[in-house]
Amino acid sequence: MGHLFGVASLVLEDGGSEDEAIAALLHDAVEDQGGAPRLADIRARFGERVAAIVAGCTDAETDPKPPWRERKAAYLAHLREAPPDVLRVSSADRLYHARARGRDAARAGTARVPGCDRQLLPSIPKIRRLPENNTRQGFFERPDLEAVVAALPDYLRDFTRFAYLTGWRKGEIISLRWTDVDRNAGVIRLRPEAAKTGRGRMVVLEGDLAELIDRRWEARLFAKGSNPGVAVFVFHRDGRPVGDFGKAWATTCRAAGVPDKLFHDLRRTAARNMVRAGVPERVAMAITGHITRSMFDRYNIVSEDDLRLASQKTTMYVDTLPTKR
Residue 182 Cα to chain centre, angstroms: 27
d(CA 72, CA 84): 19
Asked if residue 231 lies in contact with residue 175, where contact means CB atoms within 8 angstroms, the answer is: no
176 shares a domain with 101 = no
The separation between CA 157 and the C-alpha centre of its own chain, rounded to angstroms, equals 19
Verify that 100 and 162 share a domain, yes or no. no
Provide the pLDDT for residue 224: 73
312 found inside a domain: no
**pLDDT (0 to 100) of residue 161:** 94
Beta bridge partners of 236: 241
Cis amide linkage into residue 125, ω under 30° from 0: no
CA distance 210 to 166: 12
Within a domain: 46 = yes
Q: Do 168 and 257 belong together in one domain?
A: yes
Q: What is the pTM of this model?
A: 0.56
Contact present, 215 and 208 (Cβ < 8 Å): no
Q: Are residues 88 and 193 in the same domain?
A: no
Residue 132 confidence (pLDDT): 52
Residues 6+ apart with CB under 8 A from 131: none
Are the beta carbons of 181 and 204 closer than 8 angstroms? no
The residues that bridge with 229 in the sheet, in sequence order, are: 222
Q: What pLDDT, on the 0 to 100 scale, is given for residue 111?
A: 47
Residues 278 and 217 reside in one and the same domain: yes
Instruction: Decide if 214 is inside a domain.
Output: yes
Together in a domain, 100 and 157: no
Q: Which residues of the chain have pLDDT under 50?
A: 110-111, 115
Print the domain residue range for 17: 2-117
Among 206, 137, 212, 119, residue whose Cα is nearest residue 173: 212
Q: What domain count does the chain have? A: 2
